[in-house]
């Protein structure tokens, strides 16, 4: 009888002790689980924040570039081999191959300007379009640089561009009146668009091939006053290429400069 009572008390003590241990174990498990949940939540928040920052950085680095190319008849002069225009096409393709994440548009100009390739046309083959660019596409007499700037700005605004650059290639001063050119320049400056102006060729005698494939010597037209003024007022930069090699080097310099923007 005494033994039985003792045995029952012993069992009861063991049960109480076991229950105590069981409850005590939960006091460690629950905080641990809470800490794991908190750690997991913190990790998720960190990943989300990193993603947002990364997307923001991509947005800030994204840029729209319009290549404004002079295709007037004088761009067929062969002082920059094989011609001024062909050297420009090669430099433009070189630029596009480096900045593959940028959107590109093309504006052609001579006696008038035209939007040749839209910034948001993902289906356009810009390399092929550049190959086909020639004075036959528009009125090849004259150099309406101011109109080319205005056409470029209108395309930027159509697609809502914020990081905007114009790279303009030409061999001459504008044929527009001072009033028209100055208005276009002020319009570009107020829109905070940087313009990198590249003068192509040199003054003096040079060879040109006629439509009949005759090689004739002419007095080569070249005047970079307008290009220098554009780069000065738009916080851009002016370059001058007198050879195919110099044109390629300038394209490389501009590529490096755009990488810092």
Q: Are 250 and 242 in contact (CB under 8 A)?
A: no
Task: List the structure tokens of 160.
Answer: 């809502």
Which one of 46, 61, 76 terminates a domain? Answer: 61
User: How far, in Å, CA of 104 to CA of 156, rounded?
Assistant: 11
227 has a pLDDT exceeding 60: yes
User: How far, in Å, CA of 46 to CA of 192, rounded?
Assistant: 36
Beta-strand relationship, 103-109 and 194-200: unpaired
Per-residue confidence band for 7, with pLDDT thresholds at 50, 70 and 90: very low
Domain holding 95: CATH number?
3.40.50.410
Same structural domain, 5 and 132: no
188 has a pLDDT exceeding 70: yes
Same structural domain, 233 and 244: yes
User: How far, in Å, CA of 107 to CA of 117, rounded?
Assistant: 7
Question: What average pLDDT does the structure give for the chain?
Answer: 83
Per-residue confidence band for 40, with pLDDT thresholds at 50, 70 and 90: low
User: What pLDDT score does 145 carry?
Assistant: 95
> What contacts 253, CB < 8 A, 6 or more positions away?
239
Higher-pLDDT residue of 69, 222: 69
Same structural domain, 109 and 13: no
User: How far, in Å, CA of 234 to CA of 66, rounded?
Assistant: 15
User: How far, in Å, CA of 237 to CA of 242, rounded?
Assistant: 17
The pLDDT of 36-61, averaged and rounded, is 49
Cα three-residue angle 82-83-87, rounded to 5 degrees: 85
Per-residue confidence band for 21, with pLDDT thresholds at 50, 70 and 90: very low
Higher-pLDDT residue of 29, 139: 139
User: What pLDDT score does 29 carry?
Assistant: 47
User: How far, in Å, CA of 82 to CA of 68, rounded?
Assistant: 20
Task: List the structure tokens of 128.
Answer: 């092929």
The pLDDT of 35-50, averaged and rounded, is 50
Per-residue confidence band for 259, with pLDDT thresholds at 50, 70 and 90: confident
Q: What percent of the chain has pLDDT over 70?
A: 76
Same structural domain, 37 and 130: no
The pLDDT of 7-31, averaged and rounded, is 47
The pTM for the full model equals: 0.77
Residue labelled with tokens 């002020």: 186
Same structural domain, 96 and 53: no
Same structural domain, 23 and 123: no
User: How far, in Å, CA of 109 to CA of 147, rounded?
Assistant: 8
Which one of 12, 41, 61 terminates a domain? Answer: 61
Same structural domain, 89 and 147: yes
Q: How many domains does the chain have?
A: 2
Residues 150-182: tens digit of each pLDDT: 999 999 999 999 999 999 999 987 888 888 999
2: containing domain: 1-61
Per-residue confidence band for 35, with pLDDT thresholds at 50, 70 and 90: low
Same structural domain, 57 and 111: no
Same structural domain, 91 and 174: yes
User: How far, in Å, CA of 244 to CA of 259, rounded?
Assistant: 23
Same structural domain, 135 and 233: yes
Annotate the chain with DSSP letters as a single string.
-HHHHHHHHHHHHHHHHHHHHHHHHHHHHHHHHHHHHHHHHHHHHHHHHHHHHHHHHHHHH--EEEEEEE-SGGGG-SSSSS-HHHHHHHHHHHHHHH-TTSEEEEEEESSSEEEEE-TT-TT--HHHHHHH--GGGS--SS--HHHHHHHHHHHHHHHT-SSEEEEEEESS---S-HHHHHHHHHHHHHTT-EEEEEEES-SEEEEEE-TT--EEEEEE----HHHHHHHHHTT-EEEEESSHHHHHHHHHHHHHHHHT-
User: How far, in Å, CA of 135 to CA of 127, rounded?
Assistant: 17
Task: List the structure tokens of 77.
Answer: 């002069």
Q: How many other CB atoms are found less than 10 A from the CB of residue 94?
A: 16
User: What pLDDT score does 95 carry?
Assistant: 95
Same structural domain, 87 and 28: no
Residues 73-87: tens digit of each pLDDT: 999 999 999 999 999
Same structural domain, 96 and 178: yes
């Amino acid at each position: 009888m005494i033994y039985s009572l003792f045995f029952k008390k012993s069992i009861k003590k063991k049960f109480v002790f076991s229950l105590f241990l069981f409850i005590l174990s939960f006091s460690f498990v629950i905080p641990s689980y809470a800490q794991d949940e908190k750690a997991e939540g913190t990790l998720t928040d960190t990943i989300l924040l990193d993603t947002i920052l990364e997307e923001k950085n991509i947005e800030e680095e994204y840029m729209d570039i319009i290549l404004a190319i002079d295709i007037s008849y004088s761009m067929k002069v062969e002082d920059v081999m094989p011609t001024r225009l062909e050297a420009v096409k090669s430099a433009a393709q070189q630029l596009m191959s480096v900045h593959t994440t940028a959107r590109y548009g093309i504006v052609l100009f001579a006696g008038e300007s035209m939007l040749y390739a839209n910034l948001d046309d993902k289906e356009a083959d810009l390399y092929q379009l550049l190959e086909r660019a020639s004075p036959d596409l528009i009125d090849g007499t004259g150099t309406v640089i101011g109109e080319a700037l205005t056409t470029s700005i209108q395309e930027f605004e159509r697609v809502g561009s914020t990081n905007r650059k114009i790279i303009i290639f030409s061999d001459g001063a504008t044929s527009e009146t001072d009033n028209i050119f100055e208005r276009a320049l002020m319009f570009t400056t107020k829109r905070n668009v940087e313009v990198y102006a590249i003068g192509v060729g040199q003054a003096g005698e040079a060879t040109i091939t006629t439509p009949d494939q005759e090689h004739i010597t002419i007095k080569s037209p070249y005047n970079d006053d307008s290009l220098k003024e554009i780069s000065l007022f738009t916080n851009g930069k002016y370059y001058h290429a007198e050879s195919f090699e110099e044109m390629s080097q300038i394209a490389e310099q501009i590529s490096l400069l755009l990488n810092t923007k």
